[in-house]
Structure 1
């Protein structure tokens, strides 16, 4: 394997992040999302959204590279209070030290080479250094690969479920959570 690294994204990386998101979603989520939802997503609009997100600096956006190729990205930051609440609406004691991993994508052709683990590990380390202790992520219930990945680092479903409207089709997601002291199997 060529040199693999993780680095902080810049606004100049927005096109690559958009390319990876669109390609990965169209490949991995074609069965979960209606075709119209995926077809409406354009490179230009997605690139502009990522450019703004990186420039705002409200979250940490990391890129995985292998040699000269950008192969994946990860985004995380302070979890909104509504995201940390238990199913009964109660807020856990560590809510102020909980982060949300809002996206973790590696292009399928670069999968199973450790990029996802490097991305999440680097993100967890940076967010831990900022005083955070726990992370959460939302996983489509039918996404067995992502669930296996998060379980592999010690994160488990906590019983909280949400259903999103994905272009008129319900998309059920499970929340996984775990310490930012990741273990890799």
Structure 2
């Protein structure tokens, strides 16, 4: 019997180009960002931003995690205090992003990243988790709710760069 060499860990600055590759592949596959806008982005500039976020976050509790298959980044997660006006930044942590490369979904990377994200929030003494999810992302919402997260009634609309809006609902869970 063989087992896959898979894991999740805190991101290193050298992971930034791979994080960008996963992020752009996800945007293309999911249509989150119009194709022409994705094509206009500079991957090197985005990688520099991710590397800065990893090495010099604005808050020590802001963390980037990567899901690996051997040494290859298959996904990433971003966790931080919840900055919502109705949150307590001492007790409320947030999963800001959790993205798995579309070519490597359904291989357990999302579950590993989610567990690592929750473990990281717990280690930072957060007792409640929050997560904003797009209202049209049925697959992600199903994954999150099957993992024990529930809607808390909050919703928002974010203005997109191309003039459209993204509607989101907030999910929450008790962290233990």
TM-score scaled to structure 1, two decimals? 0.85
Alignment partner of 1:78 out of 76, 81, 85: 81
d(CA) in 1 for partners of 2:47 and 2:174? 32
* SS across alignment from 1:7: strand
Contact 2:66 2:113 in 1 (8 A): yes
Aligned residue number for residue 111 of structure 1:
105
Aligned residue number for residue 88 of structure 1:
none
* SS across alignment from 2:75: strand
d(CA) in 2 for partners of 1:133 and 1:20? 29
Aligned residue number for residue 45 of structure 1:
45
Aligned residue number for residue 23 of structure 1:
25
Alpha-carbon shift at residue 38 of structure 1 (Å):
2.8
Aligned residue number for residue 164 of structure 1:
158
Gaps in structure 2 of 5+ consecutive residues: none
Q: 1:130 to 1:103 in 2, by over 3 A?
A: same
d(CA) in 1 for partners of 2:155 and 2:40? 26
d(CA) in 2 for partners of 1:123 and 1:105? 12
Ranges of 4+ aligned residues in structure 1 off by more than 6 Å: none
* SS across alignment from 1:96: coil
d(CA) in 1 for partners of 2:172 and 2:65? 20
Q: 1:129 to 1:52 in 2, by over 3 A?
A: same
Contact 1:34 1:169 in 2 (8 A): no
Task: Number of aligned residue pairs: give it.
Answer: 170
Aligned residue number for residue 154 of structure 1:
148
Gaps in structure 1 of 5+ consecutive residues: 86-90
> Can you list the C-alpha shifts for 1:41-83, whole angstroms capped at 9, x where unaligned?
321221111011101143111111112321001110111242x
d(CA) in 2 for partners of 1:39 and 1:165? 20
Alignment partner of 2:69 out of 66, 69, 84: 66
Contact 1:99 1:134 in 2 (8 A): yes
> Can you list the C-alpha shifts for 1:110-145, whole angstroms capped at 9, x where unaligned?
111111111111121122122111111111110001
Matched, 1:3 2:14: no
